Amino acid sequence: MSQVFKAEAFSHETPQSRTPPFDQYRLLAETVSKNNDMREQANNFWTTVNVVLISSLAYIKDASNIDLSHKPAFMWVVISLGYVLSLTWLSYLGRVKRVEETGTALLAEMETSMPHKIFTKLNGSKPKEGKSVLTLTEIMVPTVFLLGYFFFTVGLIFFKQEAIRPAL
């Protein structure tokens, strides 16, 4: 047996502990990229679900086959579901923001020991403290849906007859 083989056989190092920094950097960059892809898909999902709920409210209001006394109950269920889903969406965006900020900070930190600062060059500079990784649109869309559900709530409370009668 060679000396190298014997040393490796009794070493407590694992393949993970010998991973070069570049491989760790690459893995982190892929994770940040996948997080962005999941964020885009999730935003499409949440938008679709909320559009279906708002459309359901309009359908329930104008449906002539639903008894007028049952319409408010159906509408309250849809409105409540809309509130819960929109708040869940905002919570999800908060989690995405934390993961993205952590990944971005780690990438920038790892680049300090590398000869080429790819991430820094692509993004213009190191991540700025206090700057959100989410766009204003990403934050506003669930907020607009929440406002829509709020207006339906106001309509059901203060203008119940107008809110449940079908448009002529």
CB 164 within 8 A of CB 72: yes
- Per-residue confidence (pLDDT) for residue 146, from 0 to 100: 96
Count of domains observed in the chain: 1
Tell me whether residue 31 is in a domain: yes
Tell me whether residue 3 is in a domain: no
Tell me whether residue 91 is in a domain: yes
Tell me whether residue 112 is in a domain: yes
Q: In this model, does residue 120 exceed pLDDT 70?
A: no
Give per-residue pLDDT as tens, 139-162. 899 999 999 999 999 989 888 777
Q: Which of 133, 15, 143 is closest to 82 using CA atoms?
A: 143
Give per-residue pLDDT as tens, 56-112. 998 988 887 888 888 889 999 999 999 999 999 999 999 988 888 888 788 778 777
Report the predicted TM-score, pTM, of the whole model to 2 decimal places: 0.72
SS3 readout for 71-119: HHHHHHHHHHHHHHHHHHHHHHHHHHHHHHHHHHHHHHHHHCCCCCCHH
Tell me whether residue 50 is in a domain: yes
Q: Can you give the residue range of the structural domain that contains 39?
A: 19-164
Tell me whether residue 76 is in a domain: yes
Tell me whether residue 10 is in a domain: no
Tell me whether residue 62 is in a domain: yes
Q: In this model, does residue 6 exceed pLDDT 50?
A: no
